[in-house]
Amino acid sequence: PEITEPKEHPVVETISPAQVETPAPVMPEIEIDDTPVVAEAPLQIVTPLDGEVVTAFSMDQLVYNPTLQDWRTHDGVDISAAEGTAVLAACAGTVLAVEEDAMMGTTVILEHDGGYQTTYANLQEQPGVGAGEAVSAGQILGAVGCTAAAEAAQEPHLHFSVTKDGENMDPNEFLRSVS
């Protein structure tokens, strides 16, 4: 038999997985928003006064005003209560104004987050809050009075109105939808 010389086999180098270079994955560019995150407390809403609504909100239909003996719109709700009954802030905010309105009597206006303002009129003179003061939901603002000349023929009540971004809205919708 013929003797053949052994063939040389190429040397194969063993490479461990750690030695294998894989290209780095291409990361998508991400826009970083570095705006600080501010936690907001939930908006708590309370009814400013328990009582019967004696005049409803009506901006699209005229209602009769017995004091002025005419028909007009009504930008809030009149809630009946005994004179001296505490009136509460519907939600946290800042007292924008405390004023003696010629038609609506002693009035407190609160400014709230989200573009809301609440107005509490026909209060007793000298309510318990002042302009610029921070108030919390349910804090006593004053008491039901009889200071509104435009509603003097009615029994004692709170005239409560709400605006959103300067537009009148039904206070009942505010009390239901935000709470």
pLDDT tens digit string along 115-174?
999 999 999 999 999 999 999 999 999 999 999 999 888 999 999 999 999 999 999 999
Record the pTM: 0.74
- Cβ-based neighbours of 26, under 8 Å, separated by 6 or more: none
Measure Cα distances from 4 to 11, 122, 123 in Å: 20, 120, 119
Neighbours of 41 (CB within 10 A): 7
* Separation of alpha carbons 49 and 160, rounded Å: 9
* Separation of alpha carbons 140 and 127, rounded Å: 9
* Separation of alpha carbons 132 and 93, rounded Å: 10
pLDDT tens digit string along 61-83?
988 888 888 898 889 999 999 99
Six-digit token string for 116: 């809301």
Q: Are 111 and 98 in contact (CB under 8 A)?
A: no
